[in-house]
Amino acid sequence: MARIPLIDVATSTETEEHIYKRFPSNLVRGLLRTTPEIANGYLDLGKALSGSPLPPKLREMTILRVGVLTHSPYEWMQHIDIAKLVHVGDKEVIAVKSGEYGKLTDQEAAMLQFVDEVVAKPKATDTFDLALANLGEQGLATVTLLVGHYMMTARFLETLNIDLDKNATSWENA
């Protein structure tokens, strides 16, 4: 059970209801405990990151790895089915869970090693050059923002103990 009451959509304002409908989830019910502007800004960034030029498979592997490293079952629940839809197979899921990247492509392994380092410390040093070589400037910058966004999300979810949704939510309405 959440540590603070989440917004009750049945008694919410029209603005809150509109924001909730963008991404109907307990996460958004929690975000609406801040302000509508913050909740909308969060959703805008998430939507932009989901539509970035980074290949969807790499995006979802990044998000799932952040979920593992930050002990956030909510992120895993929201993204595992999306990951499978964008061709993250069993081999990749096992690697994301275990942190053993030997069976992945060079690009996937370099990216996930970079994710591991960015989650562990504020500045990637050891993995930066290899990740840059494998992802390019735009890919590296996008992965860095993805890690930050989903670390923030995990901290919000876990600190407030926001309950898992019954089903994953999609970005169709966002």
- Options 1.10.10.10, 3.90.600.10, 1.20.1290.10, 1.10.760.10; CATH for 54-160 is 1.20.1290.10
- For residue 13, the model assigns a pLDDT of 97
Cα distance between residue 26 and residue 16, in whole Å: 13
Angle of CA points 136, 84, 142, to nearest 5°: 25
- For residue 49, the model assigns a pLDDT of 95
- For residue 169, the model assigns a pLDDT of 84
- For residue 7, the model assigns a pLDDT of 95
**pLDDT tens-digit profile, the chain (174 residues):** 899 999 999 999 999 999 999 999 999 999 999 999 999 999 999 999 999 999 999 999 999 999 999 999 999 999 999 999 999 999 999 999 999 999 999 999 999 999 999 999 999 999 999 999 999 999 999 999 999 999 999 999 999 999 999 988 876 655
Cα distance between residue 6 and residue 44, in whole Å: 20
- For residue 96, the model assigns a pLDDT of 98
**Whole-prediction pTM:** 0.94
Structure tokens at 35: 């302000």
- For residue 21, the model assigns a pLDDT of 95
**Domain boundaries along the sequence of the chain:** 13-50, 54-160
Matching residue, tokens 């923030």: 152
Handedness of CA 123, 116, 74, 63 (dihedral sign): positive
